[in-house]
Amino acid sequence: MKGDYQDLVDEISALLGAPATLENRDFRLIAFGAHDGDDDTAMDPVRTRSILTRQSTAAVRSWFEGFGIARATGPVRIPAAPEAGVVRGRLCLPVRYRGIVQGYVWLLDPESGPDAGPGPAALTAAMEVAERMGVLLAEEAKAGADLSREFRAALTADGGWQRDMALTALRSALGPDGDGLHAVVCVAPWAGEVPGSMPGTAAVCVVPWSRPGRASGTDPGGSGRATSGRGASGRAADLQGGRPDARPGDRSAAGAGAGGSDGTDGDPGPGRTALAVLVRLRSADSVAPAEALASRLLPRPTTPPGLPAATVGIAEPRRGLTTLGDAWAEAVAAARAAAAQPRLGQVARWSAIGPYRLLASLTAGRAQDPSTRVLLDAAHRELARTAEVFLDCAGQAGRAAAVLGIHRQTLYYRLGRVEQLTGLDLDEGEDRLLLHMSLKAARLD
């Protein structure tokens, strides 16, 4: 449906003779018209930031909302406010459906004076296009909200007939979309309710996220459904969290300071949930719509203090819902990997997380080997980091010493201490593999 919005934005741009942008009611970018010509003033800082970051600042939003755009039923002209970063005036076309604002179309005010700019006929035609946008936005928001229960059930149901029934119900509710091409997205931790407007999504829901350190992954029976650490019930999708800058050996990293309940009964508590989104795709070769969604959802300034920063995982594209459980497991694994490995960034695709594809499938805590457990103690954090960097550098001492900023002899001394503590021989390939896997798995736990 992204293409529909783009077509409508281009139609308004042509009617009014200026590039338009469409944002939802939360001031997050949905589509924008192309800027042609040599007039650099048409790309003022606010429009540039909206396109590049897909959202507006709080100061800009406050300035615009002060002119009653949320209540307006027709075009609103807004003067410039350099102190808020608005260096040029704006023309705002409210996008409404049945009296409720769904978003806004923005154009730079081409001239000054009350009679300048597009004429009444052009504005009337543009408002008619905005009404069509409002219908689309409302339909998408309603569809996502209406399907949240079915989507959640399909992700968290037990295997066997319960899972089959949940998938059948979701497929029926989705209609033709049920057989379409999708990507599953996981955002965790998620603080709050389902977002009000998420263009391009087929279904969205919030699922419980159990405490870090509990079992995680997919059920041993191979159904691919998300499981929690609560035995066979499997009623909560699990995702292990942690500070993005946590190092192996820092046991306080996972879930540090997270308050609320443990997510086993009733209200899961602040930050004990993940957002699951089923995103429509046009091609299996591109997950751009899922990545665009991630950029609109991050960063999460409303995340309660003490909770780890939210990360996003994107599963590989799939057609239909037959392997929805596998797709959710991939999205969860990618989000966990993004939280564990800073170099992946806040948004990670399952196909790009390397060894974490395998490690994330292991039961939490089971990836620790008795020989490496002592190295993961907080007292040996520097030794753990040294060993990880050395193994990341394929055992090249000079390269590892340079990355760590230490002398090569210091590196050899630390590696000797690692061998003493673990009983492993770093000249042996299998011992190196065991240690490397243990250190990477510790990030996920």
Handedness of CA 386, 392, 398, 403 (dihedral sign): negative
Phi, psi of 181 (to 5 degrees): -90, 130
In this prediction the pTM is 0.57
The angle subtended at Cα 328 by Cα 324 and Cα 333, nearest 5°, is 150
In Å, the largest CA–CA distance within the chain is: 83
Q: Homologous superfamily of 2-140 in CATH?
A: GAF domain (3.30.450.40)
Q: What is the pLDDT of residues 218-251, one digit of tens each?
A: 333 333 344 333 332 333 334 433 333 344 444 3
How far is CA 80 from its chain centroid? 33
Q: What is the pLDDT of residues 94-124, one digit of tens each?
A: 999 888 888 999 988 765 555 566 788 999 9
Q: Quickly state the pLDDT bin for 305 (edges 50, 70, 90).
A: low
- For the chain, residues classed under CATH 3.30.450.40 are 2-140
The pLDDT assigned to 247 comes to: 41
The pLDDT assigned to 321 comes to: 94
3-state secondary structure of 347: strand
- Phi/psi region, residue 361 (left: phi>0; alpha: psi -120 to 50; beta: rest), is alpha
Residue with structure tokens 């410039």? 80
| Residue 410 to residues 20, 372, 379, 401, 405, Cα–Cα distance (Å) | 60, 21, 18, 8, 10
**Cα distance between residue 181 and residue 168, in whole Å:** 17
- For the chain, residues classed under CATH 1.10.10.2840 are 370-444
- If we measure between CA atoms, which residue out of 86, 130, 78 comes closest to residue 104? 130
Lowest mean pLDDT among 190-199, 273-282, 335-344, 375-384: 190-199
CATH 1.10.287.130 holds for 370-444: no
